[in-house]
Structure 1
């Protein structure tokens, strides 16, 4: 499978898992939110290991850019807060960096 869809799915898993803890600890939701949160975080970790990369660090570094963009989408869709231009500029820079890591030519 292509790395980009895996990164996006992993980001959704991580963000959903972390948001479950946020909802419990910051928004006063039930502690039962932790259960789907933990399952989401396990799914995130599993998906990230499906990335074809020679080194875990490179896969994780490229993921960072995707995570940042996905977090802003989450903020808009789930939390109802529109990212501002600085969010969008920063996210664009991070995506560009992630693409360099993912697609950069590697010497043998």
Structure 2
């Protein structure tokens, strides 16, 4: 699997998980109703399947790397959807997480 395909899968997983959690938040905390919550549950289920398309067979490695994508993606979601303004420490933390993703997923390993 190419690095580009792996990154696309991580981005799709992030959209499904962050979007699903946001929909549930909107349904419950913002009183938008059960349809929002149901859509969020479906999106969260989709996230679980998207992660299985990564080529690495190790669930722990995929999930650990995805967590770094989740951190950066959550901040990006906040900027785009909720008009959140991350400070420099948010950005530094997200950058550190993305470096961690690169090391975990794409470092050369002996087979």
Q: Paired residue for 2:27, among 10, 21, 24?
A: 24
> Which whole-Å CA distance do the structure 2 matches of 1:103 and 1:46 have between them?
21
Q: Is the counterpart of residue 68 in structure 1 residue 75 in structure 2?
A: no
Q: Paired residue for 1:40, among 15, 29, 43?
A: 43
Displacement of 1:3: 0.7
Displacement of 1:107: 2.5
5+ unaligned residues in a row in structure 2: which ranges? none
Task: Please name the residue that 1:5 is paired with.
Answer: 8
Displacement of 1:25: 2.0
SS in 2 for 1:80: coil
> Which whole-Å CA distance do the structure 2 matches of 1:28 and 1:35 have between them?
13
Give me the TM-score of the superposition, normalised by structure 1: 0.94
Runs of 4 or more, structure 1, over 2 Å off, are none
5+ unaligned residues in a row in structure 1: which ranges? none
Aligned residues: 108
Give me the TM-score of the superposition, normalised by structure 2: 0.91
